[in-house]
Each structure stands twice: as structure tokens, then as C-alpha cells.
Amino acid sequence: MKTSARVILAIVLIAALFGCRETYTPPQITTNTNYLVVEGVINTGTDSTIFKLSRTVRLNAKTTTQPETHAIVTVESDANASYLLKEITPGTYASAPLSLSGTGKYRLRIIANTNTHTTYLSDFVPVKNSPPIDSVGYSLPANGVQIYANTHDDGNATRYYRWSYAETWNFHSNYDSEYIEVNNRWINFRTLAQRIFSCWASNTSTDVVLASSAKLTRDVIYQVPITIIPSPSQKISVKYSILVKQYALTEDAFNFWQLLKKNTEQLGSIFDAQPSSITGNIHNIADSSEPVLGYISAGSVQQKRIFIDNTVLPTGWGRENPLPGCAIDSLYPIYPPYPKPLPSQLTVSLIYYNEYLALMPNVPMPGDTTFWFASRPACVDCRLKGTVQQPSFWK
């Protein structure tokens, strides 16, 4: 009897434990803050000035970005000159080179596309021109390709630096499809324009890369780490290119980016930096308590590009494991009309239903049935991860 009572008590406790559980959703996940995010630099050099405007979204939202469209964005000088930026894509505003004076101060004005036409204004900032990038290079530690940059300022006037980058890489699909289905029946040899084996993909930096020589006698930055590419990455499977951009910062701007880096990249354990409030230099002129994310700087930007070919890397680097299901199958022919549902055996009809892509036919022996070698589109069509259009800067 005692054993039965214990069993019943255990069942009751388990039922209570699981039956009374309720999902807890922290308020920070569902709160719709809708804060304005401003990204960009007032370029006083020979390049375009580009700003991206967006709004923050809830942590549980299905979308990760919310562009701020149809805003009025202008650059203003302390000499009362104004320069309008045009919206070139949703949330992205740009102008041709502005040819701004290096001795003036500049700010950004944003009139948001809301019923109240809320106006945001940055503080006036001085021009900080970046010195040239001395070099962009790479080293080969055991875990991948480490990209780094070198720079210096003989006048010891820069001291605070930030870098961003855009990377592009050439890659190949697992298999080369030499044939293509035409007119829903025949499979013909692909022309050069129809090949889907070699593609290019691109990515832009999201990490904050900073360095300072403020505590050094000379204004020299040596081999600051820009990014590292893991050794099995597809990025270095054929050929890789990176365009590094360098910005000169004021001390206040550097402190803003450093705090942003700590809050976004260095949290997660009890030994990491604790989250803290980030204050930029952009404000809602009607409500100074509204948070606005971003820091406006002005100055010329320096850039340098390098290429890395897989042939200069250790053997085996850049080769990712094949995707699951990337086997080469044999498809036997049946002829139209194709039955639905499809036959259980692998047949050429799967090519016409876009379940497979043809690689090449077998070489039949007398008495054999002709069949096609084929594989799944994800293993054959590189366009699913990139574009066949070669970039204009590609060597």
C-alpha cells in the first residue's frame, strides 16, 4: 500500500509540475520601441555620401529590418549651406560627391515620414579626414585566413580609427550541370551563358572594428584585425576579395563606437562588459528623451581592395562538406505525359518537375538502358546562393 501511495503521489506531482507551467514572455521581447537608426558618414572627399535609415523592431518580430522610407534627408553646414540626399532604395539616401570644405562643420537633418513629420537633427561635427591605408594583408593561423590592415598618420592627428568592409567571393556548386531541359522534353547541352556552376556572392561587415594610437608616441596602427575567414568556408574555395574602408574619428565618436561594440559583441558571460546606455549625437528636436541610434561623423574615407586565390592557401582549405542529400542519382527515362504522382523509381520526369537537374548522360553499352546522371538543384545551381554575373572589379 505504501508503494502504491508513493506512485500516486509522484504522478500527482508530475502532473502539477507540467500542467501549471505557463509561458513567460519578457516585456522587452514584445515592446514595440520603433526607434530611429541612422547609419552613415558625411563624406567630404570624392565619394558619395550615403545614409541608411531604419526603425528598430520587436525581438519576436518576423522581420529583422524596417526601412525608414520617404524621409527628407539633408546635410547642413555651419555656413548655412544645405545638400539634399535622394532615396535610391527603400531607406537608403545618397548624393553625389558634395565637395565640402575641410574647415567647416556639418550636421544631418532628417524629417521622418510620419503624420507629425518628426524632425531629427545631429550635432555639428568637425571634419576628420582619414590618412591613406598603408596596406591590407592576411596571415594564415590554424583556424583560417586573418585579414588585417596597416595605417599611420605622420602628423599624429588622427589617433582614432574605424574600419568597415565589403567582401565578395567566387564559388562553385557541388556538381557541374552540362545539360538543360528545353521545351519541357529535350535535354540539350548548356551554352556558356546558361552555365550555373560558377557564381559570386557578397557580404558587408556587421562587426565594429576599432583601433586607437592615443596612448602611443606615434600615430601608427599595425595589423589591426579586420575579419577572419574560417578555413572550411566557401568564401575561400575559389577566389576571395575584400574592400576595406577606413574612417578617422573624433574621440567622442570613438567612445560611442566602442560602447556599441561592447553592448553588441562582448556580452554573454559574467566576465564580459555589462550592458550600458548608448548616447549618440542625433536628437529628436521636439523630444530629447527619445533614443536615436547612431553617430554622425564627417570626413574623407580611404579604401583598399585585395584578392586571395585558393591556390595560395593550404591544401584542403575552402572546401565545405557537401550539403545533405547531394548525391548523384541515375534517372531513367519515361516519356510525356508524365504521371502524377510520379513513379517511385527515379525517372527523367523529375528533371521536368524541377526536382533534379541533369548533369550528363551515361555512355550506354549495347543492350543497356540510357539514363541521366542528376542531382538536387541545391547541389547544382549556384544561383541559389549567388549570381552568375561577374562583378566589374573582378580580376
- Among 106-115, 136-145, 260-269, where is mean pLDDT lowest? 260-269
The mean pLDDT value for 322-342 works out to 72
Exposed/middle/buried for residue 24 (C-beta within 10 Å: 0-12, 13-18, 19+): exposed
Backbone angles phi and psi of 252, in degrees to 5? -65, -40
- For residue 20, what are the contacts with CB-CB under 8 A and spacing of at least 6? none
The pLDDT of residue 118 is: 94
Set of cell numbers at residue 367: 543492350
Q: What is the pTM of this model?
A: 0.84
pLDDT band at 386 (very low <50, low <70, confident <90, very high): very high
The mean pLDDT value for 47-70 works out to 85
The pLDDT of residue 368 is: 59
The mean pLDDT value for 232-246 works out to 96
Residue 213 reports pLDDT greater than 50: yes
**Comparison of pLDDT for 306 and 373, the residue scoring more:** 306
Q: Cβ of 8: how many Cβ atoms within 10 Å?
A: 10
Q: What percent of the chain has pLDDT over 90?
A: 66
User: What is the sign, positive or negative, of the torsion defined by CA atoms of 388, 63, 233, 319?
Assistant: negative
The candidate with the shortest Cα–Cα distance to 381, out of 362, 346, 356, 360, is: 356
The mean pLDDT value for 280-289 works out to 95
Average pLDDT, the chain: 87
The pLDDT of residue 231 is: 94
The pLDDT of residue 33 is: 76
Contact indicator for 218, 154 with CB cutoff of 8 Å? no
Residue 321 reports pLDDT greater than 80: no
